[in-house]
């Protein structure tokens, strides 16, 4: 498992870095759009009913079709479009549920869970496109990825070798307080390195607070996905990435960190 994890990372990471810096915002947005579709598919496979009802299929398919338009709104930097896609998704799925409710009241759960997934995945991913389009956006995306993945890797190995005290056993029995602290330490280390190499004008105190909050948000995102999988009795969201599981397993921490990075960058770091 460890070997597969590292091999997948070694192959995927350079390609991802190339897309961030050389592919430009259009290519990066296409990548995020693809991740939103795959992530939505994996999420819906986890949480939505398996009954072969036509209306359920329509609601889930509609989520997959509409997800890229959320990313398009971010690419065009149009908040009204982003919010409009979110609202249109709710209106249309609610409409689809009405004829089915008499025979299948559980269709309401499908609408609610699909709507949650739409916020959870394409909306949160859209913040990465917004960051990429801002000043020094490619560098900030690379910074974010390094923070989150360092935290994930630090937590994984610290927990594996040093973990003794359970962090949230009802949600994820394998995650430990030692792992969480190891992940936060790795995140802080990456923040210090980037400060010294690229962000010399950023305030130390604000940067450390930022790194701690990003690490915490990432760990909450990781636990939230674990919560979804535990409720559905599913081990991994998919099998697309050997050693890592599915796309959602790989981006769960990034989803919760992305909005935090955007708002810190736009409203705090840019104001310093």
Cα separation values, 48 from 43, 73, 110, 226, Å: 8, 26, 6, 16
**The pLDDT value given to residue 156:** 85
**The pLDDT value given to residue 2:** 55
Euclidean distance between CA atoms 229 and 232, whole angstroms:
5
Domain count, the chain: 1
Give the residues across from 172 on adjacent strands.
168
Cβ atoms of residues 206 and 269 within 8 Å? yes
Burial class of residue 153 in the structure, from the number of CB atoms within 10 Å of its CB (0-12 exposed, 13-18 middle, 19+ buried): middle
Please say if the pLDDT value at position 160 is more than 70. Answer: yes
Burial class of residue 271 in the structure, from the number of CB atoms within 10 Å of its CB (0-12 exposed, 13-18 middle, 19+ buried): exposed
Please say if the pLDDT value at position 13 is more than 70. Answer: yes
**The pLDDT value given to residue 221:** 95
**The pLDDT value given to residue 138:** 94
**The pLDDT value given to residue 162:** 87
Confidence of residue 28 (pLDDT cuts 50, 70, 90): very high
Higher pLDDT, 24 or 66: 66
How much is the mean pLDDT over the chain?
88
CA 270, 129, 185, 10 dihedral sign is negative
Rg (CA), the chain: 19
Please say if the pLDDT value at position 253 is more than 60. Answer: yes
Euclidean distance between CA atoms 163 and 141, whole angstroms:
30
State mean pLDDT over 61-89. Answer: 94
**The pLDDT value given to residue 239:** 62
Cα angle value 43/165/252 (rounded, 5°): 20
Please say if the pLDDT value at position 271 is more than 90. Answer: no
Kindly state the DSSP code that residue 173 receives in the 8-state scheme.
E
Cβ atoms of residues 253 and 148 within 8 Å? yes
**The pLDDT value given to residue 10:** 67
Confidence of residue 173 (pLDDT cuts 50, 70, 90): confident
**The pLDDT value given to residue 208:** 95
Please say if the pLDDT value at position 107 is more than 90. Answer: no
Domain that holds residue 140: 2-271
Proportion of the chain above pLDDT 90, given as a percent: 59
Higher pLDDT, 82 or 59: 82
């Amino acid at each position: 498992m460890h070997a597969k994890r590292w091999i997948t990372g070694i192959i995927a990471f350079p390609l991802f870095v190339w897309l961030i810096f050389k592919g430009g915002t259009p290519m990066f947005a296409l990548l995020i759009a693809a991740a939103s579709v795959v992530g939505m598919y994996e999420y819906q496979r986890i949480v939505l009913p398996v009954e072969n009802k036509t209306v359920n299929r329509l609601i889930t398919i509609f989520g997959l079709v509409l997800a890229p338009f959320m990313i398009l709104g971010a690419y065009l930097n149009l908040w009204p479009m982003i919010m409009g896609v979110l609202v249109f998704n709710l209106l249309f799925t609610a409409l689809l549920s009405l004829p089915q409710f008499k025979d299948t009241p559980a269709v309401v759960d499908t609408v609610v869970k699909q709507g949650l997934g739409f916020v959870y995945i394409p909306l949160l991913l859209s913040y990465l496109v917004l960051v990429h389009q801002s000043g020094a956006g490619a560098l900030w995306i690379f910074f974010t990825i390094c923070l989150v993945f360092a935290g994930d890797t630090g937590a994984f190995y610290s927990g594996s070798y040093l973990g003794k005290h359970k962090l949230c056993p009802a949600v994820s029995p394998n995650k430990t307080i030692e792992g969480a602290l190891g992940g936060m330490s790795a995140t802080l280390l990456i923040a210090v390195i980037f400060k010294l190499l690229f962000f010399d004008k950023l305030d130390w105190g604000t940067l450390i607070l930022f790194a701690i909050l990003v690490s915490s948000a990432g760990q909450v995102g990781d636990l939230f996905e674990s919560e979804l999988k535990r409720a559905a009795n599913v081990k991994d969201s998919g099998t697309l990435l050997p050693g890592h599981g599915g796309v959602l397993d790989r981006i769960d921490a990034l989803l919760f960190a992305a909005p935090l990075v955007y708002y810190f960058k736009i409203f705090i770091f840019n104001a310093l």
